Structure 1
Amino acid sequence: MTSKEKKNKRAKRRSYSWLSTLLLIFLVAAGVGVGVLVYAAQNLPAWDPQQLSGASTTFLYDDQGKVLAGLHAEQNRTETSLNNVPPDLINAFIATEDQDFYRHHGVNFKGIVRALLVNLQSGDLTGQGASTITQQLARNAFLTFDKQWERKIKEVLLAFKLETHYSKDEILSMYLNKIYFGAGAYGVQAAANTYFGKDVSKLDLAESSLLAGLPQSPNSYNPFQYYDRAKARQQMVLKCMVDCNYIDQETAQQAFETPLVFKKSFNSGSRYGYFIDAVIDETLDILEAREIYEDPNNAIYRSGLKIYTTMNAQLESHAEEFFKNPANFPSEQKNGEQIQCAMALIDHSNGEVKAIMGGRSYEQRRGFNRATNALRQPGSSIKPLTVYAPALEDGYMPFFTLIDEPISIKVGNTIWSPKNYDPNYRGLISMRTAVQWSVNTYAVQLLEKVGVRKSFDFGKSLGLDLVDTPGTNDLSLAPLSLGGLTRGASPVQMAAAYGAFGNGGLYAKPHFVTRILDADGVEIYRFKPDYHRAMSEETAWLMNSMLQTVVSSGTGTNARVPGVQTGGKTGTSEEYKDSWFCGVTPGYSAAIWMGYDREHTMNKVYGGSYPARMFRSMMQKAHEIKNPKPRSMPAGIVSVSVCSKSGKLPAELCSQEQIFSDYCLKNKVPTEICDAHNMVSICPESGKLAGRYCPNPEMRSLTKDETPTEKCDIHSDFSLPALLNNEIYVCRDPRHNGKIYRANLPNPLQSGGCPPEYLEKVIVENGDSLPYCSLEDHQLKKKKAREVFDDVIGL
């Protein structure tokens, strides 16, 4: 046998070996498949046609374990016949969800093969994709929503069974009446009413194509929250309809460009509506991240879950009652739109959100929740988070002084001149004073010293959604010092950030859900405490101390809670578009925002007015429920006496009014003596530097920023207005030419050498006669005051 023949023989043996191996693998896989198929068939759920429209209720519980609400798929569902559904809506669904619906027998095997290849390539063996309309109906009616191959096989078997019991139109009708569209709407009739306020039969192509795109991911495409996403999905639905020849491209484009007019309000009458919506949103994120269910939306409404939340029913009820009272809000309106408001209150020790309000009234299930979704400009309420707390971390103490004066900073090719919210400039002031009165120029100068990168990273560590991308970003002075952010911040984000000041520097992630049980009572989720140290305990205490000054005697006095240590910060964005009050107590942190949805300007609605009063009301109620003691001052902090003008130890020239006590780290106690003061002669009448003619100058201890730069312009001469209604000395000695000596000169006896025995003090009023010394006859004569002043002009 030649070597070539030997090689061919070995190659044939290897081929037979591979074929045998593959055949064995195929037989084993087929056997396993048949086994799984038989097992799944034997364990199919009981065939109950009533389940085609039924579901198990999911219950939500408050922080005391009491049921606060039940979520059920049928709570907003109205049956309608297929004849009442417009052809455009039917075609939109078939084109998007199941183009072969009228050609297959419940299962699209070509689609399954495609999905299987995709899953194998991605390494995801959870059996996703390729579900026909019949399979989706089977899953919604009879099965759980977990991602398992067994469930997928059951879904296929049940789809075949549905196809044998019902016609295609009956299956389509049940499907359209059962699927979830978001915003609490089940079925096309409820969806048409929820989103457009009309009967399903009245929907046009634009509205139909939008609705048909929602069921794939109602949470992500909810047009009340994510309009741009919903429009992008609508465009995809219209493209599918073009591909299926239901419409042409021109019609699709016209439908896409047709303005959508949504239902403006929906009075659900639901208690705790905004909180429940936030719980659902968070639960969806949890279930999607854990990939427990293929369709988390349906799982929430149809699987009988038990969801335990952080909500305190007393606080949420108090918030709802407060929001019902129009007197608690400004009465102004712009273009028929009222000022809106949002609130979030958090237990900062663990991040549990205890109460929220996402608007003045609850208008729409799963609609726009301003407490969680509205990102608005925080204005000066950002300063403690991105300026003052990082400055404390860098070693700048509350008595650190800077000059509050007009400033100009070069930013790129422009000059930026930030102004204070009021027209006042206070000269040398401490950090505590700058926080107390929300001084912008101080904050900008201090941020320059701290550095924008440190400030940016500090804000990120407190949960702020700051942007650092090429072009527009928050990595600059203006957004970090005055709060004009690229995206903005929500009340929940701001409340959680301020919570770190009350929690010893630990940031606790805000959350609404503590644990979730499935229908069998098996725990499928438990919140794990999520903390990280955002700042030192000392920094948190010092910042909290300065925030208390804001409330006790600064811009936030309306937020003061009687008997409760209260700190906070006001914030008002440019042109009064956004007003905030954010604050902290020993037990809670909270943030309140006020403004128009469309960013109209408000009529001077300050953060220290309505928002501060709302904060006080919520905190009073919260501390009736839980009233922990304030945190003790850390051992590393001491009290010191300093001069408010220099932040140094007081000197002899420092007045008592300028000496005050403040706190600092032990290693930051000042050692230098104040050198900011000088003795300056001031005219008390003009307030300027005293001149030679000023009658009553005073020596004052002043700092450089306090010292006038101009000389007195009132006492430039002894003119009549300066002498009238005053005391004067008259010389009775004719040798001194009858000069008149004013009594309030420093020393009249040295002003011309007139002996004391010749001086006589008289009171002068306009029009009075004056004694006048005549050189001619050495006799006193009477003259009118005007004549005397005309004749005798000065010393």
Structure 2
Amino acid sequence: MRPEPTSPIRPSRLRRFLRWTLVLLLALGILGAIAAGILYTAVASKLPDVEALRDIEMQEPLYVYAQDGRLIALFGETRRYPVQIEDVPERLKQAFLATEDARFYEHSGIDYRGVARALWLLTTTSDRRVPGGSTITQQVARQFFLSSEYSFTRKFAEMLLARKMERNLSKDEIFELYLNKSFFGNRAYGVAAAAEFYYGKSLDALDLDEMASLAAIPKFPSSGNPLSNPERAKERRDVYVLARMQELGFISAQEAAAARAVEMHATPHERPIEVYAPYVAEMVRLEMVARYGGDVLTRGYHVTTTIDPTMQAAAELAVRNGLSTYDRRHGWVKPAETYELAADEDAPTVARRLRGVAPQGGMLPAIVVRSGDGTADVVLADASTITLDAASSRWTGRTPAALLTRGDLTRVRRIETPTRGNANADATETPPTVTWQLDQLPRAQATLVSMEPGDGAVRALIGGFSFAGSNFNRATQSRRQPGSSFKPFVFAAAFEKGFNPASIVLDAPVLFRMRHGQDWRPQNSDGRFLGPMRLREALVQSRNLVAVRLLDAIGVDYARRYISHFGFEESQLPPNLSIALGTPSLSPLDVTRGYAVFSNGGFRVTPWFIDEVRDREGTVIFKENAPRACRGCGSDGTPGQATTPSHVVDGFNFGPAAAERTVTAAPEAPVEPPAPREDGAAPVMAPRAIDERVAYQMISMMRDVVRRGTGTAARVLERDDVGGKTGSTNEHRDAWFSGFGGNLVTSVWVGRDDNRSLGFREYGGRAALPIWIDFMRVALDGVPEVSNEPPEGMVRVAVSAGGRLLPTTAESGGITEYVKAEDLERMESEIDLRIDDVPAEEAFDIF
């Protein structure tokens, strides 16, 4: 039999199947290509320009420095100190390469095996987050340009960006961006900030175990850093980072074993503040925001201030000690806050109650846990317990047990006393003796402002007892009445009007009838009246009635306009005779500025505290060129022209008008103008505020205030160039001392924020002057004394104790004064004032 023929259908069906399969695959391929093209076009068109990474500005904090470069403050939420790749140790780079991307210097930006693994896991598992095999380049792309969303689109964009970055940037540039951008937990961004925060070291000082620990952080910066989870951090350091470094040949087995043997030892290291000036730091922050916008805390500005570290420290100590001394004069105050403590509450539990209660002025918060038998046990914020004995509260006159009860929130101060040991022994072998003192926050506040009168540079500023307790800057933001410390401005206005230190004014009762039928009877602080007085003596003894009569004689409107030239706003000066008693509301900074006019020879300077601003690259973008006083210069700032033509501003004559007068004082040598600055900028002359001769007279009189008046306590400084004026207000609400010495003018204010009285007899000489003295003792150490020579255009005269002009002969005796040449004629023509009967009270109508 013939075999049956094979059916031709099967081969035909197979071929058709293969043909359709091929067509389908081709179609799918075309569709896939089209889809990929569309996706690429859609994603690629939105990719940023990676060239911008060359000029990227990392967020850096705002740095504030003292005059000598020591750190005052760091502002900013992020800790970041960008470094150049060449400054990163090779071993540290290897640690990150081993951990994140061993083939970084070999691939073109994408690890395709890792990407395939990630795509497979996303497709086949329900996990939303899977290991993605991202290279360092991809991580940089994500950190700078993309979100942390897990999706195919974001991953595709990341890959495209990585390829684009590899074409435009070098490997080192990409690696540098990664090391500076990565987050390491605890607000530390960048490896340099992480090294400083966790280990207090620079990069070149890190040990191998520390490098490996840092390299392990970026994967789990919050939950796996050495502080939040040291066990997990050690496991990643030992099992992963060091093992990978050894596997890749970066380190030997012995080095890996030695590093693993080191215990985890990371601790928080805040960048140390070297100069404590928190009020100044906040002033800088506000000023920088005003100048450069709200992002100044992230742009890495470096601001150098005018603050002198030694003076600032002296000011801080003087204010703390002065307020403590004042407060102790007024006795112990029962603690205002008491906690209900459980009977079995242990020290750590008690200590947790102190979270958020900040130390202030060197005083640590503490909670009383036992009181009895003359002593008390208190717990500090670190959970340590100390016992306060009778010596700790000796200043109160009572024992701690009599002052404290269980649960009281109180304050203690740690006192370290150097131990006197063997003279030949190493000082480190004899630690200081530590004792504890019971203390309390003072009820009063104080400010201190010190500046150079020549240009207004602020050298020290204290805005209150403790910035932690209150960030309200009383030196610049508060407005308080200066009291009698305002009298020099009134006297200066009178001297411009023709009065002089020898002029006679009555210290006698006076009644002023006001518009609404009210009567005003100003009083002297001692309630006494001394009759006719020379103005010099009136200022030395701070006689209120003389100041009021003097202001009445020259006119309130005139005085307000004149005094405004010291830098005060005329609107700040009440339009009535009360300004003679210091009723204007002024800030301590304003008062200090006013006194600078006296000290610098009559020029109005503007206080300033920012000397220089540099950007993150170190380029100077601002350098202060403050207007400066030029003692001996004419009204136009020209040296040697002090006595040529008169200079009239606003109706006030600021220069001598009688050059033909014979001047007994020898003329000064020609004055050289200030030299140009280092950067070549020409010096700027400050505007003249008052006649230099008036400034001389006021300096002379305020030196007498210290020699024999209300400021005699300052004689302890043993300097002839120290002068100033005390100030007190009604009911002792404010106490002041403003004065000068050497190259400084300084004001101290003491008062209470609630405007209550400081207490009986808390005058400026008692509450404020001791702070001023303690500060100036340090600030003027080694500073030469400044002379006060009468300028040209003044005449030396002799007067009697009653102010009568005496013949200027060697035999005439009398009291020596220097008066303006044009005022001498007035003195010669004055009728002798023989006031035998001082009226009991004179009455004047005022409006």
Name the TM-score, length of structure 2 as normaliser.
Answer: 0.48
Are residues 1:437 and 2:537 paired?
A: no
Structure 1 distance, partners of 2:457, 2:762, is 30
- Residue aligning to 2:728: 572
Q: Which runs of 5+ in 2 are unaligned?
A: 1-44, 81-141, 152-182, 188-270, 337-441, 628-685, 842-847
User: Quick one: which amino acid aligns to residue 417 of structure 1?
Assistant: R
Are residues 1:642 and 2:799 paired?
A: yes
Q: Which runs of 5+ in 1 are unaligned?
A: 1-36, 77-156, 167-173, 179-267, 678-702, 710-795
- Alignment partner for residue 41 of structure 1, among 34, 49, 55? 49
User: Quick one: which amino acid aligns to residue 709 of structure 2?
Assistant: G
- Residue aligning to 1:19: none
User: Quick one: which amino acid aligns to residue 73 of structure 1?
Assistant: E
| Cα displacement (A) at 1:270 | 6.2
* Deviation string, structure 1 residues 16-54 (Cα, Å, up to 9, x no partner): xxxxxxxxxxxxxxxxxxxxx999734444899xx9xx8
Are residues 1:527 and 2:624 paired?
A: yes
Range with bigger deviation, 275-284 or 581-590: 275-284
- Residue aligning to 2:778: 621
Contact map agreement 2:505 2:532 (CA 8 A) in 1 = yes
Structure 2 distance, partners of 1:38, 1:519, is 30
- Residue aligning to 1:705: 837
- Alignment partner for residue 531 of structure 2, among 417, 423, 427? 427
| Cα displacement (A) at 1:61 | 2.3
User: Quick one: which amino acid aligns to residue 279 of structure 2?
Assistant: D
Are residues 1:588 and 2:691 paired?
A: no
Contact map agreement 2:453 2:596 (CA 8 A) in 1 = yes
Q: Percent identical across equivalent pairs?
A: 26
- Residue aligning to 2:423: none
User: Quick one: which amino acid aligns to residue 632 of structure 1?
Assistant: E
Q: Residues 634 and 497 of structure 1: is their aligned pair in 2 closer, same or farther, counting only changes over 3 Å?
A: same
Q: Residues 641 and 491 of structure 1: is their aligned pair in 2 closer, same or farther, counting only changes over 3 Å?
A: same
Are residues 1:281 and 2:283 paired?
A: yes
- Residue aligning to 1:128: none
- Residue aligning to 1:88: none
Q: Residues 281 and 68 of structure 1: is their aligned pair in 2 closer, same or farther, counting only changes over 3 Å?
A: closer
* Deviation string, structure 1 residues 66-106 (Cα, Å, up to 9, x no partner): 44444342479xxxxxxxxxxxxxxxxxxxxxxxxxxxxxx
Contact map agreement 1:379 1:482 (CA 8 A) in 2 = yes
Are residues 1:395 and 2:395 paired?
A: no
| Cα displacement (A) at 1:287 | 4.7
- Residue aligning to 1:62: 66
- Residue aligning to 1:482: 581
Are residues 1:502 and 2:606 paired?
A: no
- Residue aligning to 2:701: 546
Q: Residues 161 and 418 of structure 1: is their aligned pair in 2 closer, same or farther, counting only changes over 3 Å?
A: same
Structure 1 distance, partners of 2:61, 2:326, is 37
| Cα displacement (A) at 1:391 | 1.1
User: Quick one: which amino acid aligns to residue 638 of structure 1?
Assistant: V
Contact map agreement 1:648 1:674 (CA 8 A) in 2 = no
Contact map agreement 1:555 1:570 (CA 8 A) in 2 = yes
Structure 2 distance, partners of 1:465, 1:673, is 35
Instruction: List aligned pairs for 1:147-546, cutoff 5 A.
Output: 161-162=146-147, 272-273=275-276, 275-288=277-290, 290=291, 292-293=292-293, 295=294, 298-299=295-296, 301-325=297-321, 328-331=325-328, 332=330, 338-364=443-469, 367-385=471-489, 387-413=490-516, 414-467=518-571, 474-478=574-578, 480-485=579-584, 488-530=585-627, 531-546=686-701
Structure 1 distance, partners of 2:561, 2:568, is 10
Contact map agreement 1:371 1:491 (CA 8 A) in 2 = yes
Structure 2 distance, partners of 1:453, 1:512, is 33
| Cα displacement (A) at 1:376 | 1.1
* Deviation string, structure 1 residues 284-334 (Cα, Å, up to 9, x no partner): 33552x4x43x1xx41x3221110101111111112223343654342278
Contact map agreement 1:516 1:524 (CA 8 A) in 2 = yes
| Cα displacement (A) at 1:395 | 1.8
* Deviation string, structure 1 residues 615-660 (Cα, Å, up to 9, x no partner): 1222221221533532422122232111333444489xxxx99x42
Q: Residues 708 and 312 of structure 1: is their aligned pair in 2 closer, same or farther, counting only changes over 3 Å?
A: closer
- Residue aligning to 1:610: 767
Q: Residues 523 and 399 of structure 1: is their aligned pair in 2 closer, same or farther, counting only changes over 3 Å?
A: same
User: Quick one: which amino acid aligns to residue 705 of structure 1?
Assistant: D
Contact map agreement 2:511 2:521 (CA 8 A) in 1 = yes
| Cα displacement (A) at 1:279 | 4.0
Structure 2 distance, partners of 1:158, 1:395, is 74
Q: Residues 537 and 524 of structure 1: is their aligned pair in 2 closer, same or farther, counting only changes over 3 Å?
A: same
- Residue aligning to 1:753: none
- Alignment partner for residue 755 of structure 2, among 569, 584, 599? 599
Structure 2 distance, partners of 1:625, 1:75, is 40
User: Quick one: which amino acid aligns to residue 349 of structure 1?
Assistant: G
User: Quick one: which amino acid aligns to residue 373 of structure 1?
Assistant: Q
Report the count of equivalent residues. 447
What secondary structure does 2:574 align onto? coil
Contact map agreement 2:279 2:462 (CA 8 A) in 1 = no
Structure 2 distance, partners of 1:388, 1:39, is 73
Contact map agreement 1:649 1:671 (CA 8 A) in 2 = no
